[in-house]
Amino acid sequence: MRCSPVSPSSGTLFDLANKRQERDKLTALMGGPNVWDNQEKAQQVIQQLKPINGLINPFDALSAGADDLNALCELCAEDASLEGDLQKELHTIEKKLDEFDLRAMFTGPQDAADVVLKISAGTGGTEACDWAQMLLRRYTRWAERNGYQLEMIDELKNDEAGIRSATVAIRGDYAYGFLQSEIGVHRLVRISPFDANKRRHTSFAAVDVAPDIEGTINIEIKPDDLKRDTFRSGGPGGQHQNKTESGVRYTHLPTGVAAESRTERSQHKNDANAMALLKSKLYRIEELKKRAETEKQYDEKGEVSWGSQIRNYVLQPYTLVKDVRTDTQTAQVNSVLDGEIDDFIQAFLRAKAKKDHKK
């Protein structure tokens, strides 16, 4: 077998040189006196270090693996019996290289953050509510499969079936980096299980993803800009919550953005959850304003219906899932609905990285 030396590209080295300088500066800050006197500032530095180390450490491991692979190549040229070991090691490093290539696409300041994911039923009545619940199950399965932790923040069930909306926190490395691909309207076409005549129905649900910035970025909200409402809510706690106004909703008056929490028995906990969610949404708005895409991607008052979808899921008369942004598609609809969405996520990230590179 003929072997070619394995080495990183000069472009990657240049980028990482800057990253190493940035890491050294942040590490020096963390080692400074009295840094932990300001917990919020310290947490911001930690959050800045997280994505940098998430890029540098895998690269250093790849470099060491490349050296070992080159040495094995030389040995294989003298001893053909080592070819099997070489093939195995080559497969391993190729897989790690693909993972690093994907990780290197996370360049946003909040890509390493946890996320708050909200699903809202759109046009389609009970059908849409059932579709929203299917999406909630899908993201739950995806998160569990990838080792993320989930916490239900808010859930509003539909009387007949499904959910009108649900908000969950998904915690783990690069949760926002991966799940930003899911922001938008998702369209389902299927034979309705709620239609006695077995007709084909089209349903819509919107997915919004915001980085969980609590404790990492200071979002200042003036008290006069807030409206606070309490309401009776169902969920964990049952009769207790139905008898007390434990649910909390905050509305940011200048923007009209609202956030609520109803799942906790304690109004105090719901208050904290709602405020954290509101801050995440306001940060998301500011982030998208910088990209001049606020109206395109983050208009919560926009219509969740035909023509606005980012991805189509067709169960009848044929099976197909297709992302209209990247043209990524598969006939394995059941697998996608069971949480296997990595191909769609990666295609989105590669397209986004290519677009950002052109700017």
Domain membership flag for residue 212: no
Q: What is the CA 31 to chain-centroid distance, rounded?
A: 31
Give CA separation, 337 vs 133, 137, 177, 304, in Å: 11, 8, 21, 20
**What does the block give as tokens for 115?**
């996320």
Give the domain extent around 71: 10-103
What CATH number should be reported for the domain holding residue 26? 1.20.58.410
Domain membership flag for residue 94: yes
Domain membership flag for residue 24: yes
Domain membership flag for residue 298: no
End-to-end CA distance of the chain, in Å? 42
Domain membership flag for residue 265: no
CA nearest to 110, candidates 181, 176, 170: 176
Domain membership flag for residue 254: no
- Number of domains comprising the chain: 1
The CA-based dihedral angle spanning residues 106, 111, 112, 118, taken in that order and rounded to the nearest 10 degrees: -140
For the chain, helix, strand, coil in percent to 5 are: 50, 20, 30
Domain membership flag for residue 34: yes
**How does pLDDT run along the chain (359 residues), one tens digit per residue?**
445 545 444 444 546 777 788 888 888 888 877 777 777 677 777 777 777 787 788 888 888 888 888 888 888 888 888 888 888 888 888 877 877 777 777 777 778 888 999 999 987 789 999 999 999 999 999 999 999 999 998 899 998 899 999 999 999 888 999 999 999 999 999 998 888 788 888 999 999 998 876 655 556 788 888 989 888 765 444 444 445 678 889 999 888 889 888 877 788 888 888 888 888 888 777 766 655 443 444 444 445 555 578 999 999 889 999 999 999 999 999 999 999 999 999 999 988 887 776 65
Give CA separation, 69 vs 2, 5, 13, in Å: 13, 8, 19
CA nearest to 325, candidates 301, 282, 354: 354
Report field, pTM of the whole predicted structure over 0.85: no
Domain membership flag for residue 83: yes
